[in-house]
């Protein structure tokens, strides 16, 4: 009887396949886990201490929905220095995913279309459907570049938003400056909202990071502390964009998340003064270690950022290939979780070098066998 009570919106998508792999990992003895999309380094000590001090000093209550004043001011100053836009306001969110929820709720009406690049972060499809929108996928295979002509062909009178992610999960692709400039100008020309998910902004290994907000002042940017500082469980992010949109997101936050956790916000304030360049350099090296180990056995586009690679399965479907890898104790993610295609798989190199090397050995053996 209770099944009749379940809202229809929850039937439009399945549970995350990544979570299913996590559940499987808990059942394996000494798995080679290259499935997890979070840094393998701990939160730096000054950040941890700032949160501990906040807790010990009784800073445990609500903050204003838009964020702790000192953190919000510091984020706003950074945004102003970077962009210099006359109308660009910041908001502290409960994780970058929380910012994505607020942006979709603020902008997308039922039946409106959101253009998403395939492959895409697993939440995009589900959250768009959750607010009643319709995802429209623009294929980026085989090299995961943005083809603006394809984007323009996908725009209809129902298009409300383009959702971009660079550096990207699951591919590690970093969109070039010319690609993002053309995309930003296209969105402005068609009066379509452009949302840029920049959670992996610090993880750019070959070229300087570029945001489409540099070319389109109406761009809504989502960012956060989870990946850059190893704070995935702290649920702390931020957004910035035109004041009318940010005001609407704040109003929605008041009735949903209320605010980001206060001790985490004090940690975030400290994080903005922590230099993470050594960790970024280490992840560049891990990227090179993984690519060097796979490139002569797999078709793999060299990732320019984030901490993922997205190789093509050597034969059959990627789902079948991942099953064989899991039988060998290697946990990776089938690409169909991020895509309408079942040809590739995601591997995370946010892991100890020894784990990466064990994973590469299994992957090379699978091709040989």
Domain boundaries, the chain: 2-43+276-368, 45-271
The answer, yes or no, to whether residue 16 has pLDDT greater than 70, is no
pLDDT value of position 12:
73
pLDDT value of position 168:
98
Q: pLDDT digit string (tens) for 284-312?
A: 999 999 999 999 999 999 999 999 999 99
- Omega before 45 within 30 of 0, i.e. cis: no
Q: pLDDT digit string (tens) for 101-131?
A: 999 999 999 999 999 999 999 999 999 999 9
- Mean pLDDT across the stretch 266-278? 98
Q: How far apart are CA 300 and CA 363, in angstroms?
A: 13
Residue 136 tokens, joined: 């429209």
Beta-carbon contacts of residue 137 (< 8 Å; ≥ 6 apart): 115, 116, 117, 118, 120, 340
The architecture CATH gives domain 2-43+276-368: Alpha-Beta Complex (3.90)
Least confident of 12-21, 114-123, 175-184, 232-241: 12-21
pLDDT value of position 25:
63
Residue 112 tokens, joined: 């409106």
pLDDT value of position 245:
98
pLDDT value of position 19:
62
The answer, yes or no, to whether residue 2 has pLDDT greater than 80, is no
Q: pLDDT digit string (tens) for 326-355?
A: 999 999 999 999 999 999 999 999 999 999
Domain 45-271: top CATH class: alpha beta
Q: pLDDT digit string (tens) for 124-179?
A: 999 999 999 999 999 999 999 999 999 999 999 999 999 999 999 999 999 999 99
Percent of the chain predicted with pLDDT > 70: 96
Reported confidence tier of residue 20, pLDDT bands at 50, 70, 90: low
pLDDT value of position 8:
81
φ, ψ of residue 237 to 5 degrees: the values are: -140, -175
Beta-carbon contacts of residue 300 (< 8 Å; ≥ 6 apart): 291, 294, 309, 310, 311, 312
Residue 40 tokens, joined: 């393998």
The answer, yes or no, to whether residue 268 has pLDDT greater than 80, is yes
Beta-carbon contacts of residue 163 (< 8 Å; ≥ 6 apart): 114, 115, 116, 117, 120, 124, 128, 195, 197
φ, ψ of residue 51 to 5 degrees: the values are: -70, -40
Helices vs. strands in the chain: H and E counts, helices first: 12, 12
pLDDT value of position 244:
97
pLDDT value of position 11:
76
Cβ neighbours around 109 below 10 Å, total: 10
Got the DSSP string for 52-76?
HHHHHTT--S---TT--HHHHHHHH
User: What order of strands is seen across the sheet that includes strand 345-348?
Assistant: 308-309, 345-348, 333-334
- Mean pLDDT across the stretch 212-221? 98
pLDDT value of position 18:
63
The answer, yes or no, to whether residue 21 has pLDDT greater than 90, is no
Q: pLDDT digit string (tens) for 81-102?
A: 999 999 999 999 999 999 999 9
- Omega before 119 within 30 of 0, i.e. cis: yes
pLDDT value of position 10:
78
DSSP category for residue 335: G
Cα–Cα distance list, 357 to 286, 292, 324, 363 (Å)? 10, 11, 18, 10
Cα–Cα distance list, 147 to 57, 114, 138, 151 (Å)? 52, 16, 9, 7
Closest of 210, 214, 262, 198 to residue 236, by C-alpha: 262
Q: Which residue has the tokens 């690049």?
A: 117
Residue 127 tokens, joined: 């959250």
> What is the reported pTM?
0.94
The answer, yes or no, to whether residue 23 has pLDDT greater than 70, is no
Closest of 44, 38, 26 to residue 350, by C-alpha: 38
pLDDT value of position 202:
97
Residues belonging to the chain: 369
Residue 37 tokens, joined: 């999309």
Residue 289 tokens, joined: 């270690």
Beta-carbon contacts of residue 194 (< 8 Å; ≥ 6 apart): 161, 162, 164, 183, 184, 187, 188, 212, 216, 218, 219, 220
Give strand ranges (E) for 172-309. 193-197, 220-224, 237-241, 308-309
Percent of the chain predicted with pLDDT > 90: 90
């Amino acid at each position: 009887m209770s099944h009749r009570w379940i809202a229809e919106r929850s039937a439009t998508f399945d549970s995350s396949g990544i979570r299913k792999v996590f559940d499987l990992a808990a059942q394996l003895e000494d798995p080679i886990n290259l499935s997890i999309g979070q840094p393998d380094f701990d939160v730096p000590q000054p950040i941890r201490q700032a949160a501990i001090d906040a807790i010990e000093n009784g800073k445990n209550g609500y903050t204003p929905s838009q964020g702790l004043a000192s953190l919000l001011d510091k984020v706003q100053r950074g945004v102003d220095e970077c962009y210099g836009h006359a109308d660009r306001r910041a908001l502290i969110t409960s994780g970058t995913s929380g910012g994505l929820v607020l942006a979709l709720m603020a902008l997308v009406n039922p039946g409106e279309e959101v253009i998403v690049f395939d492959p895409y972060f697993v939440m995009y499809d589900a959250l768009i459907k959750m607010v009643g929108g319709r995802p429209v996928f623009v294929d980026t295979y085989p090299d995961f570049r943005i083809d603006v002509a394809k984007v323009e062909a996908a725009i209809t009178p129902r298009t409300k938003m383009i959702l971009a992610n660079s550096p990207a999960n699951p591919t590690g692709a970093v969109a070039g400056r010319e690609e993002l400039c053309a995309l930003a100008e296209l969105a402005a020309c068609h009066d379509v909202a452009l949302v840029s998910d920049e959670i992996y902004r610090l993880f750019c290994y070959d070229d300087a990071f570029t945001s489409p907000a540099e070319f389109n002042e109406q761009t809504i940017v989502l960012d956060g502390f989870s990946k850059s500082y190893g704070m995935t469980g702290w649920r702390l992010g931020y957004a910035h964009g035109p004041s009318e949109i940010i005001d609407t997101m704040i109003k929605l936050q008041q009735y949903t998340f209320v605010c980001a956790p206060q001790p985490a916000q004090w940690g975030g304030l400290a994080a903005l003064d922590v230099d993470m360049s050594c960790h970024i350099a280490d992840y560049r090296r891990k990227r090179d270690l993984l690519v060097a180990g796979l490139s002569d056995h797999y078709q793999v586009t060299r990732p320019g950022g984030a901490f993922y690679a997205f190789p093509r399965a050597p034969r059959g479907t990627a789902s079948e290939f991942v099953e064989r890898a899991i039988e060998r104790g290697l946990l990776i993610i089938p690409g169909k979780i991020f895509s309408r295609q079942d040809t590739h798989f995601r591997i995370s190199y946010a892991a100890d070098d020894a784990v990466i090397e064990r994973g590469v050995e299994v992957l090379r053996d699978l091709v040989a066998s």
